């Protein structure tokens, strides 16, 4: 399998009150196409900073990040935005759904930005809602759905552009045990479909579902283990 993500000595330095703080202190990492990787670490470890850089939401201070063989530092802001919308699907802990519009319209939003016509948007959004088991809930608004259902809508939205990579930041953080199992089942299915899945979590049991577990501490990659290993995050 080819590397879809190649990081070399990635650093992110913040200047705070005259001092330099290294959120990332030199991360070197390759993630292969079709891999299911979990990023773990305690609060303040740098895992969210790393996720933002991987998702092209932030740029590193130094180091090389190649996404699909292209050096991200050489992309313009417009090219970055296009990459985010087309190649990467994002899933967030708080769902980030628009409350005033239906589940279907929420799922279709990335297609609006991509310039897809209404008829095709509606069809593709409906297909993705059916794929996550919410086909009959398409006209409900987010406040009419449970937490688990909202997260499934968010996953459908992440998938609607058929991205190569799914990035999920604490996707089960606000869910009960039953919903957590259902959501993790969807991510495992995506992995089986050869999608690349990158998941940020602080829960060892969630990370153990992934085929690869990466532990970040103090801005450094300190462990790299396979499926089923339950890591201690502290």
Encode pLDDT of 48-76 as tens digits: 899 999 998 889 999 999 998 889 999 99
Residues 25 and 30: their CA atoms lie apart, in Å, by 17
**Helix or strand holding residue 78 (H, E):** helix 77-87
> pLDDT class for 4, splitting at 50, 70, 90?
very high
Residues 13 and 162: their CA atoms lie apart, in Å, by 33
Q: Against a cut of 0.85, is the pTM above it?
A: yes
Find out whether 142 and 150 touch, Cβ atoms under 8 Å: yes
Nearest to 198 by CA among 185, 186, 212, 180: 212
pLDDT of residue 84: 84
pLDDT of residue 71: 93
More confident position, 183 or 233 = 183
pLDDT of residue 230: 64
Residue 228 has pLDDT above 80, yes or no: no
pLDDT tens-digit profile of 128-168? 999 999 999 999 999 999 989 999 999 999 999 889 899 99
**DSSP for residue 46:** S
CATH code, 36-59+82-226: 3.40.50.300
Collect contacts of 138-141 with beta carbons under 8 A, ≥24 apart: 138/102, 138/103, 138/104, 139/102, 139/103, 139/104, 140/102, 140/103, 141/99, 141/100, 141/101, 141/102, 141/103
Residue 174 has pLDDT above 90, yes or no: no
Q: How far is CA 166 from CA 72, 78, 212, in A?
A: 18, 20, 15
DSSP per-residue codes, 147-176 = HHHHHHHHHHHHHTT--SEEEEESTTTT--
Looking at the DSSP bridge assignments, the partners of residue 90 are: 167
């Amino acid at each position: 399998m080819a590397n879809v993500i190649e990081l070399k000595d990635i650093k992110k330095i913040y200047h705070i009150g005259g001092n330099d703080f290294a959120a990332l202190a030199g991360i070197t990492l390759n993630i292969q196409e079709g891999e299911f990787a979990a990023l773990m670490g305690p609060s303040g470890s740098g895992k969210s900073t790393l996720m933002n850089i991987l998702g092209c939401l932030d740029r590193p201070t130094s180091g090389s990040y190649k996404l699909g063989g292209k050096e991200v530092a050489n992309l313009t802001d417009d090219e970055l935005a296009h990459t985010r919308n087309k190649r990467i699907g994002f899933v967030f802990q708080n769902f980030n759904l628009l409350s005033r519009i239906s589940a279907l319209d929420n799922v279709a939003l990335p297609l609006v930005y991509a310039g897809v016509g209404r008829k095709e948007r509606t069809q593709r959004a409906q297909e993705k809602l059916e794929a996550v088991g919410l086909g009959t809930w398409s006209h409900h608004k987010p406040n009419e759905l449970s937490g688990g259902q909202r997260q499934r809508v968010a996953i459908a939205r992440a998938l609607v552009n058929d991205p190569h990579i799914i990035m999920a930041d604490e996707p089960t953080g606000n869910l009960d045990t039953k919903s957590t199992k259902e959501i993790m089942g969807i991510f495992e299915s995506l992995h089986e479909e050869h999608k690349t899945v990158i998941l940020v979590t602080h829960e060892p049991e969630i990370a153990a579902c992934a085929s690869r577990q990466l532990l970040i501490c103090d801005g450094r990659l300190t462990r790299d283990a396979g499926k089923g290993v339950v890591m201690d995050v502290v």
